[in-house]
Amino acid sequence: MWNAADDKQGRSDRRRYKRAHVLFSGRLFSGKRSIEGLVLDLSANGARVRFHEPIAANSAMTLRLAESVDIEVEVAWQNGNSLGLQFREEPARISSIFAGLLPEDCLATA
């Protein structure tokens, strides 16, 4: 029988980088389309976000944070308006962007 707690634990065990809970505004861009929402957690290779409208899984997009930081992303999973984003950039670059904002265990080591 499926158990949500077991599934969540299994996903956590497979993560390469620990996620930090955050609350940032963000915007997803795809071509001329722009969608505003919230970033709920971050790691060196992905983020969990919530947006005001659904987005198709596996869509390649750009996530903009703080109106100035753009990160190429791909939608890894979707549950309603919540999305799991996988960064398409190297974890070391992402870690350099978030250094000082995220705990060390959420960042990639060289």
At 100, the pLDDT band (50, 70, 90 cuts) reads confident
CATH of the domain at 25: 2.40.10.220
Q: How high is the pLDDT of residue 2?
A: 38
Q: How many helices (H) and strands (E) does the chain have?
A: 2, 6
Q: What is the pLDDT of residues 8-27, one digit of tens each?
A: 444 544 567 889 999 999 99
Strand, helix or coil for residue 59: coil
Number of domains comprising the chain: 1
Q: Which domain holds residue 75?
A: 15-105
* pLDDT at site 7: 44
> Is 31 domain-assigned?
yes
Helix (H, G, I), strand (E, B) or coil at 37: strand
Least confidently predicted of 16-20, 36-40, 52-56, 63-67: 52-56
The answer as to whether 8 is a domain residue is no
Give the mean pLDDT of the chain. 82
